[in-house]
Structure 1
Amino acid sequence: MTQQTVGTELTFTQGLSAADRLILTDDAVEFLAELVSKFTPQRNELLAARVDVQAAIDRGGLPGFISEMASIREGDWKIRGIPEDLRDRRVEITGPVERKMVINALNANVKVFMADFEDSLAPSWDKVIDGQINLRDAVNGTISYTNEAGKIYQLKPDPAVLIARVRGLHLPEKHVQWRGEAIPGGLFDFALYFFHNYRQLLENGSGPYFYLPKTQSWQEAAWWGEVFSFTEDRFDLPRGTIKATLLIETLPAVFQMDEILYHLRDHIVGLNCGRWDYIFSYIKTLKNHADRVLPDRQSVTMDKPFLSAYSRLLIKTCHRRGAFAMGGMAAFIPSKDAEKNAWVLDKVRADKQLEADNGHDGTWVAHPGLADTVMAVFDQVLGERRNQLEAMREQDAPITAEQLLEPCEGERTEAGMRANIRVAVQYIEAWISGNGCVPIYGLMEDAATAEISRTSIWQWIHHEKSLSDGQLVTKALFRQMLNEEMLVIRQEVGEARFNAGRFDEAARLMERITTQDELIDFLTLPGYELLA
């Protein structure tokens, strides 16, 4: 492995190509190095604090509201404000930062494109660098793509507003090291996107906007606030130029939404119900609590009491502070079969109607083919308004910790367990092969859904739960089903695809992380070791 230092404390673990140097210019690397040296030590302390919090819950405690923060929750304050081009976010599309995807997403019938360096991108070095190039070209209006058949993709006039989602605090960028350690992936993504695009974004009448994932505490939000303020000062920008929307997709964070908004108040414009990751976090956080084991993933829907409470509390909290409350993901993919497609659109319409009626300001889709359907739902509810900031949900009784932690009713079925295995293995195989956003059985799967699939089974094994037909869920039963479902996957994808892929490696990783006694926090961490 060649070690290459570029005039700073940062070390690159491989030689830099011409494409790499388009993004890793001397000035950009200097800025990245400043951020890394200033903010990595505190980030490491924040990750250590996560471990301490989880250990207390593992010993039988439960997360809850922080009594010492009552003055913030009860105070009468608001966030700094929302830029003009972010005031209407009724439909947002998400997807990885691949060139054709970026063009199609920005051209879709949506208000915002969340370009993703996180859960829908497998962060191989080439993909991360190409993603930065693609977003820079999109911001400059020069992006185009020609496919193998010669079809040219270009930006239409008036594209969607661009927001970049950076990697979570826990994810490293292993190709860049500082003092012998991989640097934080989120700082890498933030520094390079900001550095190369902030001037042009502001000239375009927009700004450097970010989505922040996987936050677990107000202290982590405050850390990002310090990163943003430092950056604004360094580049002589007014306070609040950088704007962020933060995903509430971990169970600990749902109890700290006021505090998160408060400590990011100069920069935050809203919170988002990251529902898939939230379900995964519910399982992971409460993994030792036998009375809170979730049923089949398919039956954990937003009308379940603990998820309904989460959505309503997020709306009420955000709107009280002048911040947006964004709804969750519609992961369905339109079908070419007319009858199946009608069913898909009905399911999506009902889900989004619930969000719009609850008071969400907008919502997510994973596929451009859903945009018109979802846009129509929000258009009807919003009428002449651009958002629902005035929907205060004052009729709601206070939402309690008990409601947010309430166990979820539903069956654990053999079919559900087998589906979990097939989804997780196929997703892991795609991810370690470099593709983080995968259509599987009519849903656009990203890391969060695979996480639910494998942690559910781990939890059922750990607490010796039975399936609805009486079978005890054991490591042996799981291994038997895994072997059987591998044959199903082989049949479904075909011999050629199976043999050319990395399915055996994926199955081995799935087996390891599902049967070991300690639950692994994120499958993307061991997965990253298998990625170029």
Structure 2
Amino acid sequence: MTTPTAPPTTAPIQTTQQGPAIEVTGPLRDRYDEILTPEAIAFLTELHHRFASRRHDRLADRMRRRFEIGNGHDPRFREDTAHIREDAEWQVAGAGPGLEDRRVEITGPTDPKMTINALNSGARVWLADQEDATSPTWKNVIEGQLSLRDAIRGELSFTSPEGKEYRVTAERTPTIVMRPRGWHLPEKHISFVDRAGRRTSASGSLVDFGLYFLHNAQSLIDNGRGPYFYIAKIESSEEAKLWDDVFSFSEEYIGIPHGTIRATVLIETLPAAFEMDEILFELRDHCAGLNAGRWDYIFSIIKNYRGRGARFVLPDRSEVTMTVPFMRAYTELLVQTCHKRGAFAIGGMSASIPNRRDPEATARAIEKVAADKNREAGDGFDGTWVAHPDLIPTALAEFDAVLGDRPNQVDRQRDDVHVEARDLLDLHIGRPITAQGVRDNVSVAIRYLEAWLRGLGAVAIDNLMEDAATAEISRSQVWQWIHQDRSTQEGTPITAEYVEGLITQVLAQATRSAGDRFEDAAEIFREVALQEEFPTFLTLGAYSRFLVDEA
């Protein structure tokens, strides 16, 4: 597949099928009709007809829960679901074909070049990311689907603007696990009529899932694997139940056996950490495991406790490591919960990445990644994430040393782990906020947002891989430090005026080029970090107001 060059059209696609009428208003470029087929539109219509209202109910639940936490009601293990946690008998479906060994998974966006690189990487699994590593331009959403479709059929190729050709050459390619957008994200280029009779944006989750599943499920099965998904931003077992119902309906819709779909749920929100058993239970017929989504988890803690006082203020982002008490409690509970239920526990992604132009920086990155993966393997995780192909040998060596010839260590039960609610909420780290830490947050957030507005969702900044989750930490820390009247270690009060000065510095020092989006990025940062209100996700307002597709 080559990059489409034909001029777009804007003819709407509609369905007359019963239920909310789906309308596609995004530009229809070359080959988009291979994804936006009448069959696909009909399937999206059915998904929204059956599940869109429940999605809104679950999002309303999130708002209520955040309000309760903000008003002093800490999350806890639910009393009404204690019977699920106490029943030792039930198990999840576990690994599907091609998911038995997940010791190293590579993550990344789904453009043709990155798809080919991932499939040639030597990883066991590729997380094909339509969420935090993808800027949701219409081009990225649909052409990402085209990349996946072609790759699954062995038809993908790509020629760069410089004339370099890319093809899949690996004899054994990773098993694809696709990550659709979270429940909170809309798709503004596709609309439907909601339960109140209003035309509104479609669900990004249902669009991403529906298009990928309908076009590829049977081909994946024929290839000896299956339709597998990473589920992002879950906050409750009720949200997991909604996904399970989507899966069951979709399997029936195309006539494949119940339980063919396998899902790995990212535990990347604080409320979800208190419902791991329940989430596995609701998805048990379709569940392969849980993943420790570390960066979004940190963001979720800041978001939920941003107004609760100094006890809940975290220091510099670089000091919030996987070895601090609340992160240790969260990850150890995840491994124990997964293995008790026959589920895989997948570790998170180290932010450090190699720099081929800087051997010393590369050596430091490899050392940090090796230590991180050594800890995960030793804790009982069955696999882990990397964001760069050069880190696969490092991660693989650490897991090989623990696993040996075994494909996983699900049999390691971790009966030694005893985590209580207070352990998950022990946010004391005892480190300061520094002037450099504040500046780094401002710089990273603005530079990432600028790239995101140009269509890049995963960006290397200062030898770290940044995506939407790490940008969320950066801006939410700034917001919290301002509103909790924090000062830097050097004695400078962290105020909106102080941060404005840092914004000016970042813009002055940025490497500018024609068509850059730094001014827009700074404006978004001001809205999500300096205003009185705290937007729940920085991408929501940026998506609706600033993310513009090129014609």
Residue of structure 2 equivalent to 1:199: 218
SS in 2 for 1:245: strand
Q: CA deviation at 1:412?
A: 0.3
The aligned counterpart of 2:284 is: 265
CA contact (8 A) 1:427 1:445 kept: yes
1:394 equivalent among 415, 427, 430: 415
Deviations 1:122-155 (A, max 9, x none): 1111111100000000100111112234332111
Per the alignment, in what secondary structure is the counterpart of residue 92 of structure 1?
Answer: strand
Partners of 1:215 and 1:20 lie apart in 2 by: 30
- Cα separation, 2, equivalents of 1:522 and 1:510: 12
Paired residue for 2:129? Answer: 116
Match of 1:163 in 2: 177
What is the aligned counterpart of 1:144 among 129, 154, 157? 157
**Residues 39-82 of structure 1 deviation map (CA, whole Å, 9 limit, x = unaligned):** 00000010011111111111111111101111000102101232
RMSD of equivalent CA atoms: 1.3
Unaligned runs of 5+ in 1: none
Task: Report how far residue 502 of structure 1 moved.
Answer: 0.7
Amino acid at match of 2:191: Q
Q: CA deviation at 1:3?
A: 7.2
Amino acid at match of 2:255: D
What 5-or-longer segments of structure 2 have no aligned partner? 1-8, 194-198
**Which residue, out of 285, 297, 308, partners 1:289?**
308
Matches within 5 A, 1:440-479: 440-479=461-500
Match of 1:33 among 45, 55, 63: 45
How many Å apart are 1:87 and its aligned residue?
0.8
Report the Cα distance in structure 1 between the residues aligned to 2:12 and 2:115, rounded to whole angstroms.
31
Kept in 2: contact 1:5–1:11 (CA 8 A): yes
Shift of 1:482: 1.5
For the 8 Å contact 1:420–1:454, the answer to whether it is kept is yes
Which range moves more in the overlay, 234-243 or 220-229?
Answer: 234-243
Match of 1:6 among 11, 14, 26: 14
SS in 2 for 1:521: coil
Q: Deviations over 1:182-241 (max 9, x none)?
A: 010010001110111111100000000000000000000000000000011112211110
User: Is 1:531 paired with 2:550?
Assistant: no
Query: Which residue is 2:6 aligned to?
Result: none
Contact 2:186 2:203 in 1 (8 A): yes
Which residues of 2 match residues 362-441 of structure 1 at below 5 A? 362-396=383-417, 398-409=418-429, 410-441=431-462
**Separation (CA, whole Å) in 2 of partners of 1:369 and 1:81:** 29
* Partner residue, 1:220: 239
Does the 8 Å CA contact 1:108/1:368 hold for their aligned counterparts?
Answer: yes
Q: Which residue of 2 aligns with 1:75?
A: 87
Corresponding residue for 2:188?
174
Cα deviation, 1:240-297, whole Å, max 9, x if unaligned, reads: 1011000000001000000000000000100000000000001001112112111100
Residue number among 60, 76, 80 corresponding to 1:64 in the alignment: 76
Aligned-pair CA distance for 1:5: 4.2
- Counterpart-to-counterpart distance in 2, 1:2 and 1:368: 38
- More helix as a share of residues: 1
Which residue is 1:351 aligned to? 372
Question: What is the TM-score when the length of structure 2 is the normalising length?
Answer: 0.93
Give 1:250's aligned residue.
Answer: 269
Aligned partner of 1:186 among 191, 196, 205: 205
1:297-319, CA deviations, whole angstroms, 9 ceiling, x for partnerless residues? 00000000000000000000000
> 2:459 & 2:95 partners in 1: Cα distance?
33
Extract structure 1 runs of 4+ deviating beyond 3 A.
none
Change (3 A) 1:408 1:106: farther
- Separation (CA, whole Å) in 2 of partners of 1:480 and 1:3: 47
Deviation per CA, 1:476-526: give whole Å up to 9, x if none. Answer: 1111222122222x2xx2x4x2x5301011111111211111111111101
Give the Å deviation of 1:419: 0.6
The DSSP-based 3-state class of the residue aligned with 2:98 is helix
Determine if contact 1:295/1:408 at 8 Å carries over to the other structure. Answer: no
* Matched letter for residue 513 of structure 1: V
Per-residue deviation, residues 368-422 of structure 1 (Å, max 9, x unmatched):
01011111111111011110101111122x2011110112312100000001100
The reply to whether residue 209 of structure 1 matches residue 228 of structure 2 is yes
Q: Which moved more, 1:1-10 or 1:106-115?
A: 1-10
Provide the TM-score with structure 1 as the length reference. 0.97
Contact 1:300/1:408 (<8 A) preserved: no
> SS at 1:177's partner residue?
strand
Distance 2:23 2:97 in 1: 40
Q: Which moved more, 1:324-333 or 1:360-369?
A: 324-333
Q: What count of residue pairs does the alignment treat as equivalent? A: 525
8 Å CA contact 1:273–1:314 kept in 2: the answer is yes
